Amino acid sequence: MAMVSLQTETDRAAQAAAPAGHAKDPLAGMNVLTAEGQEPSQKGIQITEKALKRIRIAMAKESVSPEQGGLRVGIQGGGCSGLSYNIRFDTQPRERDRVYAFGAGIATVGDATNGAPVRIFVDPKSFIYLHGMVLDFEETLMRQGFNFINPNSTKSCGCGSSFTA
């Protein structure tokens, strides 16, 4: 059985530019946003513009206020590889959460918030496994959903929702 792989010109150019024997950069061609008050070199959480757009759309659909609520990103035990990602909306951060704000003043298509920042809440236990992670949104013919680009992951399952650290 033959397999077909679709590649864009950007994918082909990135592969051609990569030195032999080196893995392709998973963030190549993405516009990654750093949280307000955070330096790009700090090991916090980052998101892409595609993720920012999708979070805003989902928050509006779920009637979550960007001023008070946000997206809770965490990990929990379970899944194929031992740990699995967990995302949901929350009305406010908890006392010990790390709170990251993204996209203040950056308008996205379909944005009803007029560029209000999106907040991401991470509990202390989850932060151990998520620091340095980039949250992206992938939309292809085969799959649509959030993609966790996590440097702390040593192994992940085929579905991409569970990992081993």
- What integer best gives the mean pLDDT of the chain? 79
Distance CA 94, CA 127 (A): 14
Tell me the one-letter amino acid at 3. Answer: M
Q: What residues pair up with 84 in beta bridges, in sequence order?
A: 76, 162
Looking at residue 165, its pLDDT comes to 60
* Contact predicate 51/139, CB 8 Å: no
Q: What is the pTM of this model?
A: 0.76
Cβ-contact 151, 68 below 8 angstroms: no
Q: Which carries the bigger pLDDT value, residue 139 or residue 79?
A: 139
As a whole number of angstroms, the distance between CA 85 and CA 99 comes to: 18
- Domains located in the chain, CATH noted: 30-164 (2.60.300.12)
CA distance 146 to 137: 4
What is the per-residue pLDDT for 1?
A: 40
pLDDT tens track for 11-42: 444 444 555 555 567 667 778 888 888 887 77
- Residue 62: alpha-carbon gap to chain centroid: 19
Q: Is the pLDDT of residue 77 over 80?
A: yes
- With cut-offs at 50, 70 and 90, classify the pLDDT of residue 159: low
Instruction: DSSP for 43-77, please give it.
Output: SS-EEEHHHHHHHHHHHHHTT--TTT-EEEEEEEE
CA neighbours closer than 13 Å in the CB half-sphere of residue 70? 23
- The predicted model gives 59-88 an average pLDDT of 87
Number of Cα atoms under 13 Å in the Cβ half of residue 110: 11
pLDDT of residue 69: 93
pLDDT at 161 over 60: no
